[in-house]
Structure 1
């Protein structure tokens, strides 16, 4: 009975967790967190800065997904963002949407 209760609580808490956690987990798994943090600049800008820069831009998800996959430079200074071959298009769009939701 105790084991059943613990499993029920775990499943309930997982269902209540914000969707953003799953996307942060994806960002961690795809090594995005090596150069970025949610609210602090590391090598690249904080994800919240990115969200603010692209606020209201209807093409931002596609634009950022392309940058995630192919890399880029010049938008945030001299730092170069390398291509992320381990990220497919669906994952890149999910990551971009998550970053933009942090605004």
Structure 2
């Protein structure tokens, strides 16, 4: 309800002790929507559960989304793109399997020691 005495800014509210309080501050709809959409690096790392070093390495992968550049030192990531990238990230073929070169080296060491296969 607008009060003509306050210049159309909205009415003040009274508290339990009878004093007038200032109107509640509201966050602009644009700011609140942007906060939910874009995240800074720290929040992006938190979403992915990674350290700063691992995040830098993973960002070089082709399946990771690129940041939105808002300025020379301001990069933001779209949260939904980060979540989609993680859901679509490549999976390990056989969980617990080791790379072929390590398996080959282990076999060669066993042969050198004379351990039967």
Above 0.5 in TM-score? no
Normalised by the size of structure 1, how large is the TM-score? 0.29
Higher helix share: 1
Normalised by the size of structure 2, how large is the TM-score? 0.26
Higher strand share: 2
